[in-house]
Amino acid sequence: MGQLTLLLQVAFRNLFASWVNVIIGAIVLFGTLLVVVGGAVVESLDESLSRSIIGSVAGHIQVYSEKSKDSLALFGKMGGEANLSAIEKFSDIKKVLLQHPNVKTVVPMGSNSTLMTSGNTVDLTLARLRDLYKQAAPGETPDLRAQIDSVKAHVRQMIAFLDEDLKKRNALASENTLDPTDLQALARAQSPEFWDGFEKDPLASLEFLENRIAPLVADGDLIGMRYVGTDLVSFQKTFDRMRIVDGTPVPEGQRGMLLSKFFYEEFFKLKTARRLDLIKEARDVNHKKIAEDPEIQRRLKENQTQTRELLLQLDPLKTQQATARLRKVLGSNETGLEKLLVSFFTMDDTNFDTRYQQFYEELVPLLDLYRIRLGDELSITSFTRTGYAKSANVKVYGTYEFTGMEKSQVAGALNLMDLITFRELYGYMTVDQKDELEKLQAASGVAEVKREDAEASLFSEDSSLVAESSEGIIDEDVQLDGASQARRQEELARRKYTQQDTEDGMVLHAAVILKNPDTLEQTIAELQESTKKAGLPLKVVSWHQASDIIGQIILVAKLVLYAAVFIIFVVAVVIINNSVMMATLQRVREIGTMRAIGAQRGFVLGMVLVETTVLGLVFGAVGALLGTLAVKKLGTMGIPALHESMHFFFSGPRLFPSLHASNIVTALVIVVGVSAFSTFYPAFLATRVSPLQAMQTDE
């Protein structure tokens, strides 16, 4: 006891006796600081990411068919969608999964993606014109006539712009790249004769414009859209971070879609407006300056060069209005709208806020702010697994977002859809199609099942009809003619489906929410077992695995931290080793004296080890304390996400790291271990110091 007290005393007093110790101390301090802060940040990152992933779509566990060729990647993967096998009947696996005491909810899902165009302005305007003619068909009113004339004038203006653009483009190109038939079509569309004769057969004229002119305008975007088909009611109940932003939820039992707010803004909003929004956000939230930020400057420049987007949307009347408003706002005598727009969009830090407000107050009322409005139908075409193109019109009821991840591209890429539509797009026969098939069969006299029986056999547990509905059965024969197609669409949009319709059909995967997430791994193993026993072999994976690349990022962050810590401590080992060697050499006489007086080698070994351990503990404690303070500070301030893509990882715009006792304990154990380890060799050398060294004199 007395000896240890002595050793500790010697150790403490030697702490600042040598500058070498101070250097070791500094390294140890820094190392501990890094372990504590880094550990806390990475752990919090892990927690927040898990909150993001679990709370947005994954749940704690995801299950999918064991026959799947790929592994599930909820947020998409390189090279398209994961190839998953279908689970034929969701209710079967739901029943098995719910038998586990730890399973709270199971949400059916299917994810897929598609490419779509946002539609070009000419198409949209022509569609509006067609609509007006349709309305006017039973009897024309003066009001309708005025509208028709206005839209017609708009179309003519568009064609003029188009002609101008094409000629400019042609002048720039070395060769004449235009197809002569296009030029002919364009000439015809501009000729007064065409417009004079328009009213004789408006629909034929429209068809000409739609087929020959609209394709020449290339302002539609190709949009890659990911969607998750799910039980929307259950989804919203389960993932409580989900929030409807605009519009309404899809009414229970109906077909419909909810677009991600981020996706909607990013791809369907008027680009000029979107750019202005982003600039405003950069200025207000991130405190950027137009004068200093090249990205903002680029966006402003784009607004000036891409005024065509606005010009095309405005019919002659609105063009006049816009011109008048801009002249007033700018105090200009300019008459050309394009020039006015360019000077309006010439913005700097002093006038941005006013111009932003003016844009929304003066110009936006004249424009379509979104290409797809809430309540519109979105036409989605998707390829079934066997290669057929399937399309469906889905009504967009609203936009939604996940709280905290409003700006995240990852979370924002997911659009939600009802399961019935999803199945249809995936190439599965839906209840409606079965009905139709039966109607057709009945009509053609090949009915095998009566309507009433069909209903029963469709919804009974051991339905042979449902079992038959495997991919590939898609009947291209059952294509209906245009009119009945439209009627069918309208019918479908209003049609109500039962919960059974939703649950008895195919899904690709399902989210499992647990009552106690702490026993995740155990539950996974047990579910794997129980589904196998039930004859429904599933792959059961944690949210980590289910999110593929995204889930791995935390692993990468951990690896980077551990590598940094490892390097620091390797350096520490080398430096401590060298320093203690030097210190030992400096103390040869002292050690020799102790040995001469009667200290055994073990005592000397103990002395050196205790000294470095104390050194490690003292400086480690200071480092841990500083680290704790740093984490506390970060915990209140938060680490701002430097880029919007980090919102998903931070589960919000800022990460608030918190400290666990384990962080500090780990740091101290590592530090003390490292310092003791790096002292072994010099300590061994110290034991070799001969008592004879005591006899040497200083002089």
**280 lies in the binding site for other proteins (CB under 8 A):** no
Taking the complex as a whole, the smallest distance from the CB of residue 405 to other proteins amounts, in Å, to: 58
Taking the complex as a whole, the smallest distance from the CB of residue 665 to other proteins amounts, in Å, to: 31
Which is closer to other proteins, CB of 3 or CB of 350?
A: 3
Site for other proteins (CB under 8 A): how many residues?
A: 27
Phi/psi at 388 (5° precision) = -75, 145
Site string for other proteins, 676-695 (x = CB under 8 A): --------------xxx-xx
Distance CA 346, CA 357 (A): 15
**22 lies in the binding site for other proteins (CB under 8 A):** no
**642 lies in the binding site for other proteins (CB under 8 A):** no
Distance CA 484, CA 513 (A): 43
Taking the complex as a whole, the smallest distance from the CB of residue 2 to other proteins amounts, in Å, to: 5
261 neighbors 449 (Cβ within 8 angstroms): no
**301 lies in the binding site for other proteins (CB under 8 A):** no
Cα-only R_g, the chain: 36
Q: How many DSSP H helices and E strands does the chain contain? A: 30, 12
**522 lies in the binding site for other proteins (CB under 8 A):** no
Distance CA 34, CA 39 (A): 8
**552 lies in the binding site for other proteins (CB under 8 A):** no
Applying CB under 8 A, among 78, 171, 597, 661 the residue interacting with other proteins is 597
Instruction: Report angle CA 649, 655, 656 to the nearest 5 degrees.
Output: 140
Strands 414-418 and 222-230: parallel
Taking the complex as a whole, the smallest distance from the CB of residue 604 to other proteins amounts, in Å, to: 11
Distance CA 568, CA 24 (A): 12
**698 lies in the binding site for other proteins (CB under 8 A):** yes
**94 lies in the binding site for other proteins (CB under 8 A):** no
Q: Residue 409: exposed, middle, or buried by beta-carbon count in 10 A (0-12, 13-18, 19+)?
A: middle
Locate all alpha helices (DSSP H) within 315-460, ordered by sequence: 316-330, 337-344, 352-358, 409-412, 419-426, 431-443, 451-459
Which is closer to other proteins, CB of 13 or CB of 169?
A: 13
Which is closer to other proteins, CB of 3 or CB of 499?
A: 3
Strand partners, 107: 511
Three-state secondary structure call for residue 114: strand
Taking the complex as a whole, the smallest distance from the CB of residue 597 to other proteins amounts, in Å, to: 5
Distance CA 599, CA 691 (A): 9
Could you say which DSSP state residue 72 is in? Answer: P
**2 lies in the binding site for other proteins (CB under 8 A):** yes
**593 lies in the binding site for other proteins (CB under 8 A):** yes
Distance CA 65, CA 51 (A): 25
**583 lies in the binding site for other proteins (CB under 8 A):** no
Applying CB under 8 A, among 51, 589, 632, 654 the residue interacting with other proteins is 589
Is the sign of the CA dihedral 270, 274, 275, 279 positive or negative?
A: positive
Which is closer to other proteins, CB of 6 or CB of 571?
A: 6
Taking the complex as a whole, the smallest distance from the CB of residue 3 to other proteins amounts, in Å, to: 5
Applying CB under 8 A, among 208, 562, 603, 680 the residue interacting with other proteins is 603
**14 lies in the binding site for other proteins (CB under 8 A):** yes
Which is closer to other proteins, CB of 3 or CB of 357?
A: 3
**258-277 positions binding other proteins, by CB under 8 A:** none
Distance CA 207, CA 222 (A): 23
Applying CB under 8 A, among 6, 173, 467, 555 the residue interacting with other proteins is 6
Taking the complex as a whole, the smallest distance from the CB of residue 599 to other proteins amounts, in Å, to: 5
Window contacting other proteins (CB under 8 A); options: 8-16, 243-251, 396-404, 531-539: 8-16
Which is closer to other proteins, CB of 562 or CB of 603?
A: 603
Q: Percentage helix, strand, coil, to 5, in the chain?
A: 60, 10, 25
**19 lies in the binding site for other proteins (CB under 8 A):** no
Could you say which DSSP state residue 57 is in? Answer: I
Taking the complex as a whole, the smallest distance from the CB of residue 622 to other proteins amounts, in Å, to: 21
Query: What is the longest distance spanned by two Cα atoms in the chain?
Result: 124
Which residues bind to other proteins, rule: CB under 8 A?
2-3, 6, 9-10, 13-14, 17, 589-590, 593-601, 603, 690-692, 694-695, 697-698
